[in-house]
Amino acid sequence: MIKIKRLFKSFEYAFRGLVKTFKEEQNLKVQTLVALVVIVLGGILKINRLEWCLLIFIIGLVILMEVANSAVERITDVLKPRINNYVKEIKDIMAAAVMLSSLMAIVIGLIIFWPYVFRLING
């Protein structure tokens, strides 16, 4: 049986974690701003349903990777001192995951938006 009070508590904890990450992580703020610009651009250019699905998916992926990166950074900071080489490697690997998801987002954004922009430029 689902316990509603417990379910709402779990959403409260998740929201609190997201807000904390947003307040403390500069990259998440930048990624959120870029996501909002992309969403507005998608509305202006009237992209189709499949393109919206791809954009929402990739925006979610980038934000998810940034939140996961933040969690892993905190875990490694607790488990090992910052000077430990493995901690640095773990943080670098997670940063690479965020960077790769961001690069994928850029490529997908270019694939989706280029035809619309090209049509606007060429009338």
pTM equals 0.86
- pLDDT of 82 strictly over 70: no
Domains in the chain, ordered, with CATH? 4-122 (1.10.287.3610)
Tokens of residue 71, six digits: 């969690």
Average pLDDT of the chain, as a whole number: 93
- How much is the average pLDDT of 42-54? 96
**Cβ-Cβ contacts under 8 Å for 38 (sequence gap 6 or more):** 55, 59, 109
The yes-or-no verdict on residue 3 having pLDDT over 70 is yes
* Mean pLDDT (whole number) for 17-26: 94
Average pLDDT on 31-45 reads 96
- The enclosing H or E element of 11 equals helix 4-24
Express each pLDDT in 85-106 by its tens digit.
888 899 999 999 999 999 999 9
For residues 63 and 35, is the Cβ–Cβ distance under 8 A? Answer: yes
Give every CB contact of residue 63 below 8 A, 6+ residues apart in sequence.
28, 31, 32, 35
For range 42-62, the mean pLDDT = 97
